[in-house]
Amino acid sequence: MALGIASFTPRTISWLYAAVSMANATAQLIPSEHLDRFTKPLLMPLLLFYVYQKSIGSTTLKILFLSGAILFSWFGDLALMYHGNEIYFILGIASFIIAQILYIIILRKAVYQRLTFTAQKFLPLIMCAVVFLYVLLPIEVFAVPVIVYWLATLVTTVTAYFRKDITSMESYKTALRGSVLFLLSVSILVINTCNQPVAYGGFFMALAYCAAQFFLTGGILKHVD
């Protein structure tokens, strides 16, 4: 059994993850609820397995927090599979918000010197949020949790951006790419929830989400403590 698990290298797992991601995105395009229900629950366990294989022998606080973020993302994936159920919807979004908070904590710690924030640095963040929310007006009450989730991903993206020059360039670029894709995915979700649905929005949202999780995870793992 141990030999069977060991035969799955991180490269092999990454290809499996890519294949399942494409299948899940295709499920949104066809659409196929059966394919979606089969592939979505596999995504985060595969990513968690990838983290495990990449970090054998070095179980650090960073790895534990990263595993927690992926685990909460999985909870979110499972909860949002129950379309039309308000309780599961709220639980799913709450799980994703917790995952983003964990990503923010990890990104702030995965640096070689203290990451500082100033009012000047936050100004573009505030302007971006104001413009985006203004476009969405009026916002219905049921959309508020999704907006909070979007704001959390925005903070994740800004945190990833401010890591420049205080981590390896490879870690910086990969994590930033993942956080931007995350923001894109959640932005589509917000627009679909508050306004007219984006054409092929489900396909692009799933594709961006899967890629975001992989790149953000990879970027964090590339930082050598």
Cis before 124? omega within 30: no
Q: What is the pLDDT along the chain (225 residues), one digit of tens a residue?
A: 444 666 789 999 999 999 999 999 999 999 999 999 999 999 999 999 999 999 887 788 999 999 999 999 999 999 999 877 889 999 999 999 999 999 999 999 999 988 877 666 677 777 877 777 777 766 676 788 888 999 999 999 999 999 988 999 999 999 999 999 999 999 998 888 877 788 889 999 999 999 999 999 999 999 987
Average pLDDT over all residues of the chain: 89
Tokens of 151: 């704001």
Cα(44)–Cα(77) distance, rounded to whole angstroms? Answer: 9
Q: What is the pTM of this model?
A: 0.91
